[in-house]
Amino acid sequence: MSATEFAPVNPKVLAWARTEGGWRPEQVAKTLNVKPERIVAWERGERNPTFRQVEKLARFFHRPLSVFFQSTPPDLPPLGAEYRRLPGVEVGAESPALRLAIRQMLNRRALALDLLQELGENARMFDLVARFDAGPAAVGTRLRERLGVSIDAQLGWVNEWQAWRAWRGAAEAAGVLVFRFAKVPLEEVRGLSLLHWPLPVVGVNGKERVPEAQVFTLMHELVHLTLVRGHEEQPALLEKRDAAEWSAVERFAEAAASHALVPENALSEAVDQVQALDRARTIVEVQRMARRFRISPLAMATRLRESGFMSWERYHDWRGKWTEFVATLPKRGGGFATPAEKTMGRAGRPFVRLVLEAMETNRITSVDAARFLDLKFQHFDQLRMLLRGPGEGTTGDV
């Protein structure tokens, strides 16, 4: 097909694809190596792109080629109606990378529900309810009970990646899809929740290389899901609290997550009982206690603060020193992960199992399975081995 043959696209769909993706005309123009005025002209219907340019647009926007020839733009709910409120993220002004990550996770969840129906299976229901008046300690304790992770099992984990797999598996067994997303800066968001039942979603930023931090993000988001079930939170689009009020919600979720990760009796046993209350604790000491529970030192400091082993003043002082200490550390590499390990890390065991089972029972084709998993068919045997083994590899890269 000639590159000079123009495509009769719908200009309204072109404009929709750009704005829904959060892109400015200048950014799209740079990718297609044209002037921004050309993008504006396409969206006004004054000119048409070539077929080759439309193909590039489809890849850039992560949209099927056919959508640009529809008579009307797709009618989709605002993204702000899908996820919980995120600190520092303005509804409607999410970065293109975050918008894409949310959309991909929503699509994956919808596909999981379709495959469950095809296979005649029911989705597990995560129905734990939490309210602020119960207090973070009670909320964290109930969450841990719902996940069914014993303290003996936790103290027996050999490393932090085993801890991550165990907590993730417990959340998935409880009826939550846990996905990892890529290409979103940690400064924008470390984790998020998609508020749909059954199968609500917790998304964890794959740029976080530290598995202990991923664990805390997971637990933090699970607390938010329980608060949504208790009608204490609403989707980002509807949430009306001011910044200070929302900070209090975040502190509650942070505290409850720390209680879920470290039960009170286990904490008391781990703390040096000599001058145990509110004394200065070194970074090394907090690191040592954190390693015992396979959590991050920051989560451990939060937990010590919650039970009075560290006052707010000492906590802020310790956190400042910790931030300075972390800044001196060399950046962790992502390690090496095979394509199958990346797929498992990104999509999670329940979703992978559903896709493979649907393929093996002829509900979907191998081509469909490869597309749903974003994985070439040649890697499927290794993916099956991972399902039978411990799961994803030792990297946060997705």
Q: Is a pLDDT exceeding 70 seen at residue 137?
A: yes
What's the angle, vertex CA 359, arms to CA 353 and CA 361, rounded to 5?
Answer: 100
Q: 11-69 in CATH: which number? A: 1.10.260.40
- For strand 177-181 and strand 201-205, is the pairing parallel, antiparallel, or unpaired? parallel
Check residue 336 and give its pLDDT. Answer: 78
From the list 261, 109, 117, the residue with the least C-alpha distance to 175 is 109
Per-position b or e across 155-184, b if 16+ CB within 10 A of its CB: eebeebbebbbbbbbbbbebbbbbbbbbeb
Res. 272: pLDDT tops 80? no
CB 392 within 8 A of CB 169: no
Domain boundaries, the chain: 11-69, 80-261, 339-388
pLDDT in tens, 179-207: 999 999 999 999 999 999 999 999 999 99
- DSSP readout, 331-345? PPP-----HHHHHHH
Q: What is the CA radius of gyration of the chain?
A: 23
Q: With pLDDT > 90 as the criterion, what percentage of the chain qualifies?
A: 89
Predicted pLDDT of residue 274:
47
Q: Is the pLDDT reported for residue 110 higher than 60?
A: yes
Instruction: Give the whole-angstrom CA distance, residue 351 versus residue 331.
Output: 31
pLDDT at 3 over 70: no
